[in-house]
Amino acid sequence: MTSKSSYVARVNQFDAIQFDKDILKILREQLFSTIQSLSPTILARFQPEFELLLQSAVWLGSIGKQFASFGQQLLLICYDKDELTRSRLCLHFLLTVLPKYAKDNAEQRLAGKEWVNTILSWTENTLLILSVVNFFRFLKSGKKPTLIDFLLGLDYITLHSSRRRDVGYSHITRELIWNGFMELLMVMLPLINYKKVQRNVKGFFSKHAEHVSSKSVAPVMDVHTVCAYCEDRPTLPHHIGCGHIFCYYCLEGNIMADQGFLCPLCGASAVKIMRLPVAD
């Protein structure tokens, strides 16, 4: 026999709501992607009806049958069956399913009308404010976390009251470590000058002698000349005296990112940017 307790931890009630939302979301995605692959036009036309069917099926399979939503069942809580009379059950079903259907329907079929949008936004805002007020009341009293529960006067009860809620501390620790690591990376990554690191690594492995640019050579451009950096036809050709030609933007961009930019082909340092002399 199961022992019952009228005390239900707030966190369990709140988690149950979150679970319900997630379960519905997963089912909705599966259902809609299946219908989408069968016939996209049917989905576009009857989306509110599919949503209504899905919500009704979920409600009937959970609260209608077990007096507890799937999220509540996962956390071993359920509605007090004595409070959940037939009329309240019907009202619960209508309040769960109909507002979303009315909203979807209005959004899809009466979208162009100004007054519909006004009513929709007013209703949504009012419900949001009421939910927030109800949430504060729930935090204080620990009962009736949703507006529907409040309106119908429904309380939750815990099955297996002796059973403690298991908290996975290993998951929390792992999450904290990951978050810390991500934050560190987000601070550190923009501070690293990749161009400079790249140049240093390249310089370490390549046999190019530095300072090849002791004597300045003005390169000559022909039809086959490509930029030494982007290997494309040079735009606004410039050089740094090593005999290789660059686009102006390739050169200027690289020097802006890394003051010690070297020619990628010969390793000459870019002391001075010079414009390519125009051939006669």
Interacting residue ranges for Zn ion, rule: CB under 5 A: 227, 229-230, 242, 244, 247, 250, 263, 265-266, 268
Comparing CB distances to Zn ion, the nearer of 63 and 242 is: 242
**3-class DSSP assignment, residue 2:** coil
Closest distance to Zn ion from the beta carbon of 280 (Å): 24
Closest distance to Zn ion from the beta carbon of 219 (Å): 9
Comparing CB distances to Zn ion, the nearer of 182 and 257 is: 257
Q: Measuring CA to CA, which residue among 13, 59, 19 is closest to residue 158?
A: 13
Comparing CB distances to Zn ion, the nearer of 1 and 223 is: 223
Comparing CB distances to Zn ion, the nearer of 99 and 253 is: 253
Comparing CB distances to Zn ion, the nearer of 68 and 247 is: 247
d(CA 90, CA 236): 76
Terminal C-alpha separation, the chain: 102
Closest distance to Zn ion from the beta carbon of 132 (Å): 56
d(CA 102, CA 135): 24
d(CA 28, CA 55): 9
d(CA 141, CA 147): 14
Which residue type, as a one-letter code, is found at position 21?
K
Long-range pairs of 132-138 with CB within 8 A, sequence gap ≥ 24: 138/10, 138/13
Phi/psi class of residue 211: alpha, beta or left (left: φ > 0; alpha: ψ in -120 to 50)? left
Q: Extract the tokens encoding 146.
A: 């949703």
Closest distance to Zn ion from the beta carbon of 228 (Å): 6
Comparing CB distances to Zn ion, the nearer of 90 and 230 is: 230
Closest distance to Zn ion from the beta carbon of 198 (Å): 16
Closest distance to Zn ion from the beta carbon of 224 (Å): 15
